[in-house]
Structure 1
């Protein structure tokens, strides 16, 4: 069995170091990374994950430059003398369990799976970060934006809303029961894939035979070819939908919805308004 004595020695050293320092936060979860990068004081961030500086996965990748990055390993975290180690609900279980045994404070923060979870997540993160004003304002904006959209949606019958399909790599689309589905509905759409539970595979024939009013794809698909996005270049799809009915959204916003929920909702509302205008002038057929 592997000895823990070197780790215990490191633990004692790190606890001594932390007694003379301000809050030191270590994240072992990409979505927690984003919350820290957006709302925590930079001097309080001791480490983020090695995903944090990947622009395909985080819109805050540039902010992660120069910060220590970890792979969720105890050996990487103890020398940092963290005051708090922040994890998701399920990841890095072995490392966080050992850190807890060694006396470190570990906080697991469940990530939102529904829009109804967003507020509790923001409140929890605000508590852990010392109630930063920027995060409190962000939460208030979310609550107001959500209420305004619910009020606006109540004035429009479901049948009058454009049908939207969020199509990810490998033809994967969010269906019923997903946060993305709820976000589309809140933005004023009907989800084209609502009859499918969870994340479903959509084939080309379905898209051509029953095209959505708007196809929402990753903006990266415009700049680089990949087999995962190959269907977007198919002539039959282009003929069925047309360029006016294709909208682009940076996929890195949706990897972790909570830190980006206001930007996501605003972008989808803008797309919805554009498609609704097309319908008014006869550019969209249902």
Structure 2
């Protein structure tokens, strides 16, 4: 009889009956990078999030700035993170070396995320965070949203490979080895920065931008107010004459500054803008 009971217990464990096994608790996580902040808020349960970086509430950089207000604001240094006793600390590759080393010396599990430069890298990082927080299904759903947004943007850009120049404050241009470049190429557009010889990113003169003659400018603000000299570059009369609103595609910086689920919103914004601008 005892042997029979043993067989029943073994069979029950194999079948995964509720009383036979209990799921491990989900990890408690602290983030000290604005990009890992947003991955964490999208994919983790709220109770898993112990704190976020100093920039999590910055509306210009964080797509989820309002949501971030619900969580403790960290300094980005090691000391206040250690007080939280997290299971995992997530950060960017360029977090201060001294901070990363101190956390590791204290026995903390530190996971770093690189700056994504392609959509494939973005989707891989979403999967990585989804696995880390114990919610891979949410990561799959986020990547599916990006794929669907890519399909919509490709359809909107299907006329011809328009040349688009990503232009920011003071003439900063995102080059051919950037996330913006990947977004444009993925949907069938061409980053005109290649003709300027800019690979990662760099400044272009007003004369070079005008002479380049791209089909469109990609900017982060559609406001006509120049609050400083940096913004005044994009609103220079010479540029506004050649590139009025009908030749400018506006996508907020907070949608593209990080690689994450918000890229689906960036791509949908691109789709809307391609439907609006002059062909």
Q: TM-score range by the shorter chain?
A: 0.7 to 0.9
The alignment covers a number of residue pairs equal to: 253
Alpha-carbon distance in 1 for matches of 2:119, 2:208: 28
Of the candidates 123, 132, 135, which is equivalent to residue 131 of structure 1? 135
Alpha-carbon distance in 2 for matches of 1:243, 1:76: 46
Q: Which one has a bigger Cα radius of gyration?
A: 2
TM-score normalised to the size of structure 2? 0.81
Q: Is the 8 A contact 2:117 2:177 kept in 1?
A: no
- 1:78 offset after TM fit, Å? 1.5
Q: Is the 8 A contact 1:221 1:229 kept in 2?
A: no
- 1:69 offset after TM fit, Å? 1.6
Q: Is the 8 A contact 2:50 2:86 kept in 1?
A: yes
- 1:151 offset after TM fit, Å? 8.9
Rate the CA distance shift 1:234–1:223 in 2: closer, same or farther, 3 A.
Answer: closer
Residue 141 of structure 2 aligns to a residue in which SS? helix
Alpha-carbon distance in 2 for matches of 1:90, 1:207: 31
Rate the CA distance shift 1:44–1:252 in 2: closer, same or farther, 3 A.
Answer: same
Of the candidates 48, 63, 67, which is equivalent to residue 59 of structure 1? 63
Rate the CA distance shift 1:97–1:188 in 2: closer, same or farther, 3 A.
Answer: same
**Paired residue for 2:258?**
256
- 1:63 offset after TM fit, Å? 0.9
TM-score normalised to the size of structure 1? 0.79
Alpha-carbon distance in 2 for matches of 1:62, 1:230: 29
Alpha-carbon distance in 2 for matches of 1:193, 1:60: 30
Residue 161 of structure 1 aligns to a residue in which SS? coil
Alpha-carbon distance in 1 for matches of 2:182, 2:112: 25
Alpha-carbon distance in 1 for matches of 2:192, 2:273: 15
**Paired residue for 2:238?**
236
Alpha-carbon distance in 2 for matches of 1:220, 1:183: 20
Residue 49 of structure 1 aligns to a residue in which SS? coil
- 1:172 offset after TM fit, Å? 0.6
Q: Is the 8 A contact 1:211 1:241 kept in 2?
A: no
Q: Is the 8 A contact 1:34 1:60 kept in 2?
A: yes
**Paired residue for 1:141?**
145
Q: Is the 8 A contact 1:114 1:178 kept in 2?
A: yes
Q: Is the 8 A contact 2:215 2:247 kept in 1?
A: yes
**Paired residue for 1:112?**
116
Alpha-carbon distance in 2 for matches of 1:194, 1:217: 17
Residue 86 of structure 1 aligns to a residue in which SS? strand
Residue 194 of structure 2 aligns to a residue in which SS? coil
Rate the CA distance shift 1:208–1:99 in 2: closer, same or farther, 3 A.
Answer: closer
**Paired residue for 1:95?**
99
- 1:222 offset after TM fit, Å? 3.9
Alpha-carbon distance in 2 for matches of 1:146, 1:68: 34
Q: Is the 8 A contact 1:46 1:82 kept in 2?
A: yes
- 1:150 offset after TM fit, Å? 6.8
Q: Is the 8 A contact 1:166 1:173 kept in 2?
A: yes
Residue 54 of structure 2 corresponds to residue 42 of structure 1: no
Alpha-carbon distance in 1 for matches of 2:252, 2:152: 24
